[in-house]
Structure 1
Amino acid sequence: MFNKIQQSSQKASTTKPQKLHLSQGQLFQGRIIKFFPNNIAALQLGNKTVSAKLEAPLSAGQTYWLEVVRAGGIPQLKILDDNSVRRGEQQTQAQVLQQLGIPANKVNDILIRHLATEQIPFTKEVFEKGAQLLLQTETITKEGLQTLTTLLQKNLPLTQESFQAIKAVERSQAPLIQQIAELHSSLQLIEKDNPSLRSYVNGLQNIMKETQMVEGKHPLFHLLHSVSSQGVSQDIREGATQLLQRTGLITGSDSVDKLFELFKAQLIDPTNRASVSKLWPFLLQNGTGGIPIDSMDGKTVFQLLHSRLDQPVNKGDQQQQLQLLLQLFQSKESAKNVTQTLLSMQHSLQHFSSQEKSAIAYMWNQTVSNEQENVRSTIASQFMRIITGVGYLQERELSQFFQGQLSFNEENRGARLKSLLLQLNQLQLSKEMKEKVGLVLHRLTGQQLLAQEQQGPIQQTVLQIPLQLGDWQTEMTVQWEGRKSTNGKIDPDHCRILFYLNLTQLQETIIDVHIQKKVLSVQVFNEHEKPNGLIHALLPLLKKKLSEMGYTLSSIKWVQFQEQKILKANSAQQAYAQRQGYEGVDVRI
């Protein structure tokens, strides 16, 4: 997704004028758009429009090759070719190469045409380095020219390392975590013959483990907890009872007390020993794990065991937990049907009582109970560990270490993915394995190179975070935009944050957050129906946590779009960042 976001941001930026930075010796092909009084004209260079004072007879609507004679103050330009003697585009480009003293050959001809079409400023030195890169990397193709264009537009070093890094990002299709997993599997296959690789296999395993987002207990567990607890309101307990009737756990005239007494009886039934041991292994000790179950009522037993239930890592474990629990409640419903029933509730809230709505809100809030405490978000902390573990901050950490600002031991350094890849790249591995290591390494480096961009006073930062949601391998790309504050960082009180996610159920989702004077407005772009129940349930918690940090939530808007419309109208780009452009460059010709 990272490369798509970069491309979409670049395309979106073409709709607004950009600030033009020219250097002495640069050449470019620009078009005269129209004239104004006092010999002022509008000159177009790609998506850049500049005000130009003309001191030579030029014609509106014509394209000219221009050279920057002086860049300081008001840049002065020299016309390279004469409009009156041109006999076609091909001959003009040949004349430019000739004036630069560059031989005409296949690579140079292709490159000069590409730079003219894209209207990218360049010097003779830059041109020669670019042509050499295309030859060295054997990518005299449309893709190779696109990679070179990115290097030039981002003002990145024209080296093979930078070229390969940007190419790896632009051509990547699979999520980064999937590439890491494939490399891990490949190393495991050859580890038996090469035991020295074990530390690298373990290192990759630890990094992958960190990207795993814990699934958490199934919502039904929280519903059962609310109906059995005296710590929740009467309305929530009554609503939870009604919801359990909808799921089929409570049938007919059965009471809540009877439901939990049935659970208690099944819990101590020897025939259920295998199921109980999977849910609560400690109960195998002395039959009940030292808990006086016989002297406790069913509700108390469930409350005690609910708090000691392991958190499932993935969706499969969660569904297995639920199925075992349903068996202990002697329910004939399957875990899949119960899950579907609970999920469907958020789309039909108008058919539920006020007590049921309160119980639904409580149930969904409990699924993010780790965010309830007045401490730093556990999810945010995990994201920071992933960012550090992948190695995005490795160069900065090394710089701080050498300046004595950071304590950095060998163990910590080896725990970074980029560090592991650099070490692997120095080993004697097969050509195929070297390519796999290099592909991930180049991609990480490419993402670092593309992570920041300055557009006028606006700073833009893009970061990709690999994630595993159960068995779903995906990534979250976060894009920050805003003015820099006095400490050199983006001002958190006046900025824009975009989250790009590809989720299991909701699939491609964009969350656009605008912050002005600590007031947030949020837009969610997705092709699915708005999950009213879920938003209604989690909104109070979101407002509360934002308020604790000094922010106010003003609105949340769900924008539903159809994928086929996006492909035709490019309306998805409207959800991406629209970079602000800046005019005001006067050019004397």
Structure 2
Amino acid sequence: MRIQENIKADKLLRPSKASLLQNLKTGDVLQGTVKQLYPNQRAAIQIQGNQLIAQLEASLSVGGRYFFQVTSNEGNMPELKVMTGEQQNKEQMISNLLQQLGIKENRLTSQLVNALAREQVPMQRSDLMQAVQYIQDNKIPPRQAMPVLMQLMKMRIPVTQASFQAVQALQNGNISAGLASLDRSLPPGQQSMLQVNLEHVLRGFPSEQSAVRAVLTADAQTAKPVLFPLLQNLGFVSKALDKQSWSNILQQWNTQASPNAINQAASTPPFTVGFEKATEQIRSILANQQLLMTEARAGHQGNNTGVQMRPNLEAQFPQYFSSQTPGNEGNARQVTETLSEPKNYHTLERFMNILGTSNERAVKIVLTADAQAAKPTLFPLLQDLGIVSKSIGKQGWINALQQWNPPAGQSQGTITTPFTGSFEGVKEQIQSILGNQKQLMAEAKALHGAMIQGSNTASLPKAHLTAGFPQYFSNHAPVAQESENTVRSLMEALTEPKNYQALERLLNIWKASNEHMIHNPKEQFLQQMQWVLRDAGLNAENSLKTDDVNSMQFKHLLLEMLQNTSSGIGRENAQQVVHFLNGMQLNNINESSYLIQANLQIPGQKLGVSKDIDLHFEGKKTADGSIDPEHCRIIFDLQLHRMKETIVDLHVQKNSLAITIYNDQATTPMLVDKLRPNLQEALEKMNYQVASIICKPYTEIDKQQLQSTSALDENPEQGGVDFRI
């Protein structure tokens, strides 16, 4: 992991004096150098890049380098004892230390202690013995093992086969390379759900529909589908379908929606005006919302629309209100009725959000989904506003959209989704189900329990169930005896947390393939980060303990493959990715009573960067142990195509940001000056401001670390004592 093996980044992450003292444990051995002696038996000692003041009860010499062991870390200050005297010969110091610790001296033990001392990593006798034994038992070359052992001891993790392989994978690879190797080694048609996840994180899907098709098809091909029965229970898929019929419908959907259709030249949009003109008109309607509503209501209530105040209506809809076009009273009345309804503005507003952030293909998808709904919303609204011709019927509108967005084979007809409702409607309902998860689960459990016991379900509170599933609970659709099993299946589905997780995974991939997100770098970055935190499976073992296993989580898919595959390059690559995810999990969170740190590696292939993005977060803790929201530090360790090696060190204090950019390119300061106004403007919208942006050479990190460690405390009497020797 580059943020660990990159020495310059590591120097920015050196522990502070406070975190060093709080993390010391009884038995720790660490090396320090006496920098200066003061009156009253005090001295400045440099340990792990920090200057600390010690109260001496032993004789030390200025410039002397010693090994100290923590004998107590309770009370006001830690207590250390001197393990070795002042020897000029480094080998002699290490030899004496090993002898005092009771560890046999050989080439391996000397190399290990020397490396730990050089990196100023605290050592425990038991950890040294365990590390040496593991290397000898597994016949691992010391040069290969040393970086892994160093990292494990820094993280204070026992040296086992699992921990060693995890950290080794983390140090020697990156997540994108591992995923790409696994992707290339999987045979076509096998491990379909795993391949869908790889497609999602490495390349992304070209559209929402293609993403949903891929996920549902992969689910249907598994031995025990998860989504198919769940969507049936929730009413999204007909219960009359069996698994084979469902697979056939999905296959037909895939055939109709060939990717070749995406590459075809765009044809004329089915509006009465051009695409850009329609967009402009809707934007204008929303901008003049209040005035238009006032005039529309006045015109709708008045007998003579000609005498009502309507300059804005005439400006927006001259085809209905111009004196040169008589005979349009009916159309004018229709417009005023439409504009007097607030819900129509909300519908237009949502549609405008899509128009403003997407291209024509996204709009085609939305309008097609609306047209295929049982009761289209946008179609009649656009007709009332004159954007779509009133002479066209619903089927004619669908045909026009088909011509605007033709499938690969013209003879195949319109592309229909395999749901009981519209594509967008299903998405919206799934979002609603996830948003009301707690209420739905509570009502479903109560109702399910009542149904089992045979008590009266009519008196149970079920407001959210009725709103979410009116086909089962509305007054017009009473629970009949023949449909009781259907309702029972719904109740069982809603009481299972794993079902909500399955829906969440589906929706994550669905939303990530939205046209707006595909072409938005910020959204792409957030999606990749959320995949690491939420979908990769860094908490997979915890879910195993609680029987809350999610079969769509990436790590579970890998473990399932390893269990069912005996050999092959695909299995080896899957095992390596599991090791890497384990390493990310071990290195994910470092916590003390003073500080919390988090490390992440974001897959960079889909983002178009040279290597994966390494992130390091630091946050202070408050007195009650919670994270202080007013103090945060983020380090971005990047390898960019043109700017090359770059580190961005971001400090956030209250609502102010101080940014330091380390990069050796001469053009970097000019680029920063050019982009700074945009950054400032964006942050001000979030109530943040830029305190400073400083560009430094990449090599400046070395000098900065030396300066921070060379500033001696010239007047130690003004401060307290940090530890006692």
TM-score by length of 1: 0.60
Higher strand share: 1
Structure 2 CA distance for partners of 1:7 and 1:573, relative to 1, 3 Å: farther
Check if 1:64 corresponds to 2:66. Answer: yes
For residues 47 and 82 of structure 1, the distance between their equivalents in structure 2, rounded to whole angstroms, comes to 21
Matched position secondary structure for 1:310: helix
Following superposition, the deviation at residue 385 of structure 1 comes to 4.2
Structure 2 CA distance for partners of 1:87 and 1:552, relative to 1, 3 Å: closer
Structure 2 CA distance for partners of 1:558 and 1:13, relative to 1, 3 Å: closer
| Residue matched to 2:682 | 542
| Residue matched to 1:90 | 91
The amino acid across from 2:8 in the alignment is S
For residues 54 and 34 of structure 2, the distance between their equivalents in structure 1, rounded to whole angstroms, comes to 9
1:241-275 Cα offsets, whole Å, 9 max, x none, are xxxxxxxxxxxxxxxxxxxxxxxxxxxxxxxxx99
Check if 1:279 corresponds to 2:265. Answer: yes
For residues 262 and 170 of structure 2, the distance between their equivalents in structure 1, rounded to whole angstroms, comes to 48
Find 1:475's aligned residue among 612, 618, 641: 612
> Residues 79-118 of structure 1 correspond to what in structure 2 (within 5 A)?
79-83=82-86, 88-118=89-119
| Residue matched to 1:54 | 56
Find 2:361's aligned residue among 293, 310, 331: 310
1:26-72 Cα offsets, whole Å, 9 max, x none, are 33443333221122223333434433333333333233344444443
1:314-357 Cα offsets, whole Å, 9 max, x none, are xxxxxxxxxxxxxxxxxxxxxxxxxxxxxxxxxxxxxxxxxxxx
Check if 1:391 corresponds to 2:537. Answer: yes
| Residue matched to 1:552 | 688
| Residue matched to 1:490 | 627
For residues 46 and 556 of structure 1, the distance between their equivalents in structure 2, rounded to whole angstroms, comes to 29
Q: Which has the higher contact order (CA 8 A, sep 6+)?
A: 1
Check if 1:426 corresponds to 2:566. Answer: no
| Residue matched to 1:181 | 180
Structure 2 CA distance for partners of 1:146 and 1:534, relative to 1, 3 Å: same
Find 1:566's aligned residue among 698, 705, 712: 698
Q: Is contact 1:210–1:382 with CA below 8 Å preserved after alignment?
A: no
> Residues 365-380 of structure 1 correspond to what in structure 2 (within 5 A)?
370=516, 380=526
Following superposition, the deviation at residue 198 of structure 1 comes to 3.8
1:107-151 Cα offsets, whole Å, 9 max, x none, are 223223333444433232121012123334544434522221222
1:361-397 Cα offsets, whole Å, 9 max, x none, are xxxxxxx9959xxxx9786466424531222344555
Check if 1:10 corresponds to 2:10. Answer: yes
Q: Is contact 2:31–2:65 with CA below 8 Å preserved after alignment?
A: yes
For residues 720 and 559 of structure 2, the distance between their equivalents in structure 1, rounded to whole angstroms, comes to 45
Matched position secondary structure for 1:415: coil
Structure 2 CA distance for partners of 1:210 and 1:133, relative to 1, 3 Å: farther
Check if 1:440 corresponds to 2:574. Answer: no
> Residues 120-269 of structure 1 correspond to what in structure 2 (within 5 A)?
120-172=121-173, 175-188=174-187, 195=190, 197-210=191-204
Structure 2 CA distance for partners of 1:131 and 1:164, relative to 1, 3 Å: same
Find 1:42's aligned residue among 38, 41, 44: 44
Structure 2 CA distance for partners of 1:213 and 1:478, relative to 1, 3 Å: farther
For residues 61 and 556 of structure 1, the distance between their equivalents in structure 2, rounded to whole angstroms, comes to 38
User: How much identity, in percent, do the aligned residues show?
Assistant: 26
1:289-334 Cα offsets, whole Å, 9 max, x none, are 7656xxx57964898999762269xxxxxxxxxxxxxxxxxxxxxx
Structure 2 CA distance for partners of 1:515 and 1:398, relative to 1, 3 Å: farther
For residues 57 and 537 of structure 1, the distance between their equivalents in structure 2, rounded to whole angstroms, comes to 58
For residues 479 and 63 of structure 1, the distance between their equivalents in structure 2, rounded to whole angstroms, comes to 32
For residues 675 and 577 of structure 2, the distance between their equivalents in structure 1, rounded to whole angstroms, comes to 37
For residues 702 and 81 of structure 2, the distance between their equivalents in structure 1, rounded to whole angstroms, comes to 41
Q: Is contact 2:28–2:124 with CA below 8 Å preserved after alignment?
A: yes
For residues 93 and 680 of structure 2, the distance between their equivalents in structure 1, rounded to whole angstroms, comes to 65
1:205-237 Cα offsets, whole Å, 9 max, x none, are 3443559999xxxxxxxxxxxxxxxxxxxxxxx
Matched position secondary structure for 1:420: helix
Q: Is contact 1:494–1:517 with CA below 8 Å preserved after alignment?
A: yes
For residues 552 and 100 of structure 2, the distance between their equivalents in structure 1, rounded to whole angstroms, comes to 53
Q: Is contact 1:212–1:470 with CA below 8 Å preserved after alignment?
A: no
Q: Is contact 1:207–1:390 with CA below 8 Å preserved after alignment?
A: no
Q: Is contact 2:11–2:701 with CA below 8 Å preserved after alignment?
A: no
Matched position secondary structure for 1:114: helix
Matched position secondary structure for 1:112: helix
Structure 2 CA distance for partners of 1:15 and 1:532, relative to 1, 3 Å: closer
For residues 61 and 130 of structure 1, the distance between their equivalents in structure 2, rounded to whole angstroms, comes to 31
For residues 584 and 154 of structure 1, the distance between their equivalents in structure 2, rounded to whole angstroms, comes to 29
For residues 66 and 263 of structure 2, the distance between their equivalents in structure 1, rounded to whole angstroms, comes to 80
1:536-563 Cα offsets, whole Å, 9 max, x none, are 88558624641xxxx233467473x6xx
Matched position secondary structure for 2:61: coil
| Residue matched to 1:517 | 654
Q: Is contact 1:213–1:469 with CA below 8 Å preserved after alignment?
A: no
Structure 2 CA distance for partners of 1:584 and 1:126, relative to 1, 3 Å: farther
Structure 2 CA distance for partners of 1:448 and 1:9, relative to 1, 3 Å: farther
The amino acid across from 2:163 in the alignment is S
Following superposition, the deviation at residue 91 of structure 1 comes to 3.9
The amino acid across from 2:194 in the alignment is Y
> Residues 441-456 of structure 1 correspond to what in structure 2 (within 5 A)?
441-454=578-591
Following superposition, the deviation at residue 100 of structure 1 comes to 3.2
Structure 2 CA distance for partners of 1:378 and 1:586, relative to 1, 3 Å: closer
Matched position secondary structure for 2:177: helix
Q: Is contact 2:620–2:628 with CA below 8 Å preserved after alignment?
A: yes
The amino acid across from 1:390 in the alignment is A
| Residue matched to 2:288 | none
The amino acid across from 1:41 in the alignment is A
List alignment gaps of at least 5 residues for structure 2. Answer: 209-259, 282-354, 364-513, 714-718
Matched position secondary structure for 1:450: helix
For residues 503 and 155 of structure 1, the distance between their equivalents in structure 2, rounded to whole angstroms, comes to 33
Radius of gyration: which is bigger? 2
Matched position secondary structure for 1:566: coil
For residues 533 and 75 of structure 1, the distance between their equivalents in structure 2, rounded to whole angstroms, comes to 48
Number of residue pairs matched? 431
| Residue matched to 1:416 | 553
Following superposition, the deviation at residue 432 of structure 1 comes to 4.4
Matched position secondary structure for 1:157: coil
Matched position secondary structure for 1:121: coil
Q: Is contact 2:680–2:690 with CA below 8 Å preserved after alignment?
A: no
| Residue matched to 1:217 | none
Check if 1:588 corresponds to 2:724. Answer: yes
| Residue matched to 2:434 | none
Q: Is contact 2:601–2:614 with CA below 8 Å preserved after alignment?
A: yes
Q: Is contact 2:528–2:603 with CA below 8 Å preserved after alignment?
A: no
Q: Is contact 2:537–2:554 with CA below 8 Å preserved after alignment?
A: yes
Matched position secondary structure for 2:183: helix
1:435-491 Cα offsets, whole Å, 9 max, x none, are 422322222222222222346633222222214447666433333222235785533
1:4-44 Cα offsets, whole Å, 9 max, x none, are 57643432345964623443333344333322112222333
Q: Is contact 2:108–2:142 with CA below 8 Å preserved after alignment?
A: no
The amino acid across from 2:11 in the alignment is K
